[in-house]
Amino acid sequence: MKQAALLAVLLVVVLGLGCTAAAPDPGEVAVIVKKPWIFGHGGVRVEVVATGREWFALSTSALLVDVKPMQFTMYIDDMFSKDNVPLDFNAALRVRIVDPVKLVRDFGTHNVPTGKDTTMPAWYWNNVHKPWERAIRQAVKDYGMSELVADTIAEGKESSTIEEIDRSVSETMAAYFKSIDLPVELVDVTIGRATPPDEIKNERVATATQDQRSNTEKRRKLAEDQRREAEKSRAAADNAYREAMQLSPDQFLRLETIKMQDKVCGSEGKANCTFLVGGSVSPVLDVARR
């Protein structure tokens, strides 16, 4: 019995040392690549491991492939608009792998260095990154800086400038994926709003400030002109009333004074008034006696 148990343990150890397991997480599949040492044929197995755990020979490798939608981002600087203004953009590309086996076999899913401390999947970096950047640059060339920065909906159109660029780049990339038979589905493309150079931003702020100042001056002048016209109309009405009442200018002024005093000091007024009555009397000093 002891010898049988010992043999069983040894068998498990040997099998464990000589085998490898594939156990993908949810949202992943394992693509099996066979590399036999002596007998058999190597290559990528057609069937993937989608759930559970499978054991393989130690020479076989299991490549985990994420089949959930994934996003790649890109920052593009000095992208020239239609009017030759250098602009900066942020862009995002969302895709989903639809055939992991084909992707591993024909394009590669291993990471490749893209910078000092960055890596990207080989299939993306070697086949998608540069064509995506070119598609964005080509689409941006059809629009001027103001259209790209403001991102407004032009007259007669249903989409904003950036939405039109998103659609153009999406169509270009979907057609490109199909042309190279890349087993990846394009989910969407999103282009951020354009950022102009600091010099242009400062000029736009200065121009907006000047426009605001000019509009303020125009509104002030308009108010003054309206007030002037109102005063002219009031003066014309007062003069017409004076002529209709057959009053001299001096009599009209005295009448207006009485109306003002009644308004302030009368029964409806709030002031207590004392009047000194005298009508245009000028003192006379006899200088002859001096």
Q: What is the pLDDT of residue 125?
A: 97
Tokens 């109306």 correspond to what residue?
259
Tokens encoding 3: 């010898």
**DSSP-derived secondary structure letter, 192:** P
What tokens were used for 275?
Answer: 């009047």
Return the number of other C-beta atoms located less than 10 Å from residue 87's C-beta: 21
C-alpha to C-alpha distance for 287 and 272, rounded to whole angstroms: 40
- What's the Rg (C-alpha) of the chain? 44
How far, in Å, CA of 17 to CA of 236, rounded? 112
pLDDT at residue 10 above 60? no
Helices (H), 116-181: 122-127, 129-140, 145-150, 161-179
pLDDT tens-digit map of 57-109:
677 788 899 999 999 999 988 888 888 888 888 999 999 999 999 999 999 99
| Rounded distance between C-alpha atoms, residue 92 and residue 109, angstroms | 20
How does the average pLDDT of the chain come out, rounded?
A: 81
Residue-by-residue DSSP string for 21-33: EE-PPTTEEEEEE
Q: What confidence tens digit (pLDDT) does each residue in 114-152 have?
A: 988 899 999 999 999 999 999 999 999 999 888 888 887
CA distance 72 to 75: 11
Output the CA–CA distances (angstroms, integers) from residue 68 to 27, 65, 166, 224, in the order listed. Answer: 6, 9, 22, 67
Residue 73 in contact with residue 90, Cβ under 8 Å? yes
For 46, phi then psi, to 5°, come to -70, -40
- Per DSSP, 195 falls in state B
Element of type H or E holding 255: helix 249-265
User: CB neighbours of 198 closer than 8 A, spacing ≥ 6?
Assistant: none
Those residues whose C-beta lies under 8 Å from the C-beta of residue 88, and which sit 6 or more positions away, are 75, 76, 77, 78, 79, 194, 195, 196
pLDDT at 14 over 50: no
Q: What single-letter amino acid sits at 137?
A: R
What are residue 88's DSSP bridge partners? 195
Model pLDDT for residues 149-176, shown as the tens digit of each residue: 888 787 777 889 999 999 999 999 999 9
The 10s digit of each residue's pLDDT in 249-258 is: 888 788 777 7
How far, rounded to the nearest angstrom, does the alpha carbon of residue 243 sit from its chain's CA centroid? 68
Short-list 28, 21, 68, CA closest to 51:
28
What is the signed CA dihedral for 89, 65, 113, 180, rounded to 10 degrees? Answer: -70
First to last CA, the chain: 159
Beta strands in the chain, from DSSP E residues, in sequence order: 19-22, 28-34, 43-44, 54-57, 61-66, 70-80, 86-97, 111-113, 119-121, 184-191
* Predicted confidence (pLDDT) at residue 218 exceeds the cutoff of 90: no
